[in-house]
Amino acid sequence: MSHIRPPAVAGTFYEGNSQALADNVNVLLDDARLESGSSIAGETRPLPKAIIVPHAGYIYSGPIAAAAYARLTKASGTIKRVVLLGPVHRVPVRGLALPGADAFATPLGNINIDQSAIAAIKNLPQVVVSSEAHAYEHSLEVQLPFLQSVLDDFQLVPLAVGDATPAEVAEVLDVLWGGPETLIVISSDLSHFLPYQTARAADSETVHNILHLRGSLSHEQACGGTPVNGLILAARKHHLLPHLLDLRNSGDTAGDKNRVVGYASFAFTEQTDEQH
């Protein structure tokens, strides 16, 4: 009997009705394409190997996440594996936790777990299994409807990241790196509950560090600092170039400006021969 991890934040972080959710995500993606001046037919930018996206409720961070997911349209039939890492918010864990599930469910349907990928990493000492860490974790779940909306057919490698070093995260990414069929998604917000202008300054510094591949982010700078630092380490090894796609905070989208949460999205692309 298969074990399916049910949605925990459908109806709160995003629409719980399948049609309303599909419509909402498609509007966010269409708006992001218009904002960037791209279209499905005219998209000529290099495809991301990895993206960093925020994970708040869609009303707050959905437009910023959509800026990254809209870049995947051209790869809808190419990407077959998504390695998804996000920080734990509720259940502490040592290392990187697999869910012990066969699939993740959302209102848009089920996503199968990539069992061959699980087999490739399950014996690494920093990889553990914790269904508890995944049960109510939103940082991974909120990415799934976006992925279901832009990709045709893919399998998932969901990792809830707790106490781990950048090297431990990078090792897992390296094992699963693959080719164009594999996309890496890192889920992280930026600063939390600072006044608007203070947050803008803090987040600008964090973005500067990411764009210069400086992987020493604290959890105050980014709640997903651990997986982001691991991606930065892997990006240096694999010669990826980071690009900022959007930078805003909840004061720009749907919240007041007294205590805001920062959001940014990035695409990491492989260097061409001319860029080496």
| ∠ CA 35-249-107, rounded to 5° | 75
pLDDT at residue 255, as a whole number: 87
Tell me the one-letter amino acid at 92.
P
Instruction: Assign 3-state DSSP to the chain and report helix, strand, coil percentages, each to 5.
Output: 40, 25, 35
| Tokens at 16, concatenated | 């719980």
Strands 50-53 vs 182-187: parallel, antiparallel or unpaired: parallel
Q: Which residues on neighbouring strands pair with residue 157, listed in sequence order?
A: 83
Which of 39-48, 79-88, 124-133, 231-240 bottoms out in mean pLDDT, i.e. has the lowest?
39-48
For 246-257, write each residue's pLDDT tens digit.
999 999 999 899
Structural domains of the chain, ranges and CATH numbers in brackets:
4-275 (3.40.830.10)
Burial label for 275, CB within 10 Å (0-12, 13-18, 19+), is exposed
With a cut of 90, say whether residue 52 has pLDDT above it: yes
For 19-40, write each residue's pLDDT tens digit.
999 999 999 999 999 988 754 4
Pseudo-torsion of CA 265, 270, 271, 272, nearest 10°? -130
